[in-house]
A = this chain, B = another copy of it.
Amino acid sequence: MREQFHGDLASLSEQMVEMTRLAGSAISRATRALIDSDLVLAESVIKADEDIDRIQADIEDKSLELLARQQPVATDLRVIVTGLRMTADLERMGDLARHVAKLARLRYPNSPIPTELTSTVLEMGQIAERVVTKTGSVIAGRDLTLAAELERDDDEMDRLHRELFHVLLAESWEGTVETAIDVTLCGRYYERFADHAVSVARRVAFLVTGERDAMSLEG
């Protein structure tokens, strides 16, 4: 019975790792669609978000079932309840990748990102991929070193986010208001994507250490 229960928990954890894989693939393809004005790719990201949503609904159903059937207490209870919150973060990351893809689709055949910001946005996309991959490893292996690394990746994301504004606000910048709006929204999507990844890693750290601010960082 108890062994079965831990098997069920492990399977929920695997499903969360699968969500990180899908979110990683989504943000990677969304970034390419954005920079290369690739409509087919953008559409595929928008469509694929359903898969992430489906896994979330499945995890929720199974978690409620486990809570009702097994009546876990202490750590087991906390693992399931925290898992539900993590799953919500992961689902939101899928939404944010979809938002990026929708912006690519909206401006097709142009790119919403002007050439002078291509490399910054590409880098934000790479960091987004990196954080979600690490988030998957943190969930799978409860590796707190990796969780701390994620905080640094997030700092780097914030730096790039500020850089976007810096370029847009430079006297020399000659772009349109539409581009300023698009870049502002895109920047926010990538930044929130990384925030959610960090939030998932912090929850795992909390599960492992029992301390809400296990990484001495603000919530």
Residue contact A181 to B184, C-beta cutoff 8 Å: yes
Residue contact A77 to B67, C-beta cutoff 8 Å: yes
User: What 1/0 flags go to A175-195 for Cβ under 8 Å of B?
Assistant: 101101100110010000000
Residue contact A169 to B173, C-beta cutoff 8 Å: no
Contacts of A81 in B (CB 8 A): 63-64, 67, 81, 84
Q: How many copies does the complex hold?
A: 2
Query: In angstroms, how far is the closest chain B Cβ from the Cβ of A9?
Result: 16
User: Nearest residue in B to A74 (C-beta to C-beta)?
Assistant: B68
In the assembled complex, the Cα of A65 lies from the Cα of B77 at a distance in Å of 10
Interface residues of A in 124-182 (CB under 8 A from B): 165, 168-169, 173, 175, 177-178, 180-181
Does A73 have its Cβ within 8 Å of any Cβ on chain B?
A: yes
* Interface set of A (CB-CB < 8 Å, partner B): 53, 57, 63-64, 67-68, 71, 73-74, 77-78, 81, 84-85, 88, 165, 168-169, 173, 175, 177-178, 180-181, 184-185, 188, 212, 219
A-B contact pairs, 29 of them (CB 8 A): A57-B212, A63-B81, A64-B77, A64-B78, A64-B81, A68-B74, A68-B77, A71-B71, A81-B81, A84-B84, A84-B85, A88-B88, A165-B181, A168-B177, A168-B181, A169-B177, A169-B178, A169-B181, A173-B177, A177-B177, A177-B180, A180-B180, A180-B181, A180-B184, A181-B181, A181-B184, A184-B185, A185-B188, A188-B188
